[in-house]
Amino acid sequence: MKLHTTATLALLLFLLLAPPSLRVSMAGSEFCDGKCAIRCSKASRHDDCLKYCGICCATCSCVPPGTSGNKDACPCYRDMTTGHGNRTRPKCP
């Protein structure tokens, strides 16, 4: 029990003293969070949209403008897919 408590305290101390750049990268980027909030603002499955948009934005460093369409503005985002073969679908909202 004491080892578990010591490890937990060490982790908390590390997170508190971590450089700001590490804390930002762990929390997500402001760029992606802002762009995805706009992109997913009208989505019926808002949480799923934000999740996949965030993944795509982190990989591609871009999000198409607007709430839908316009994917040609970001080819990497447009071309990401899930699955293989007949089950391939666009990954990014």
Burial class (CB in 10 A: 0-12, 13-18, 19+), 64: buried
How far apart CA 79 and CA 88 sit, in angstroms, is 11
Per-domain residue ranges for the chain? 29-93
pLDDT (tens place) for every residue of the chain, 93 residues total: 555 677 776 766 666 665 554 433 434 589 999 999 999 999 999 999 999 999 999 999 999 999 999 999 999 999 999 888 788 889 999
CA 1 from centroid of its chain's CA atoms: 35
Contact in structure between 38 and 30 (CB atoms under 8 Å)? no
Burial class (CB in 10 A: 0-12, 13-18, 19+), 43: middle
